[in-house]
Amino acid sequence: MANLSNYAENKVLDHLFKNTAYTSPTAYIGYFNNSITDDSVPTEVSGNNYARVEISSKMGSASSGTISNTTAITFPAASGGDHGVITAIAIYDAASGGNQIAYGDLTTAKTISDGDQLNIAIGNLQISID
């Protein structure tokens, strides 16, 4: 995942070059049934026990322009129905709603049927700025 949202890009630039304060948010990850771009309005899964997962406490320290998860990230299991084919993930500054911070497509799409859950193994969520 190497795509910062326009929102995050502007916050970083203002912070670095205008000395504008930016408070680091608690970060949450969610998943989507379509690809995401800076200009798209992604379709986040909803219902059937879906919820974003807090990741701030699961990330290691950045090194060489990359940060990755040091703890597995496990979403709640789908319950009462399917979540469909998951193709992308995004990070937000809120458990629901909020501002998108970063996004990217999954390397391999994953179908989440009733009873299934998405798990991101240690080190598999990598966010980089180059």
pLDDT tens profile 34-68? 989 887 778 899 999 999 999 999 999 999 999 99
**Per-residue pLDDT at 11:** 95
pLDDT in tens, 66-86: 999 999 999 999 999 999 999
What is the rounded CA–CA span in Å between residue 43 and residue 68?
A: 25
Question: Three-state DSSP class for 7?
Answer: helix
Instruction: State the pairing for strand pair 84-92/28-32.
Output: antiparallel
User: Distance from first CA to last CA of the chain, Å, rounded?
Assistant: 12
**Per-residue pLDDT at 37:** 84
The overall average pLDDT reported for the chain is: 94
Question: Which structural domain, as residue segments, surrounds residue 50?
Answer: 3-128
- Interval 18-33 mean pLDDT: 95
Task: Kindly report the pTM of this predicted structure.
Answer: 0.92
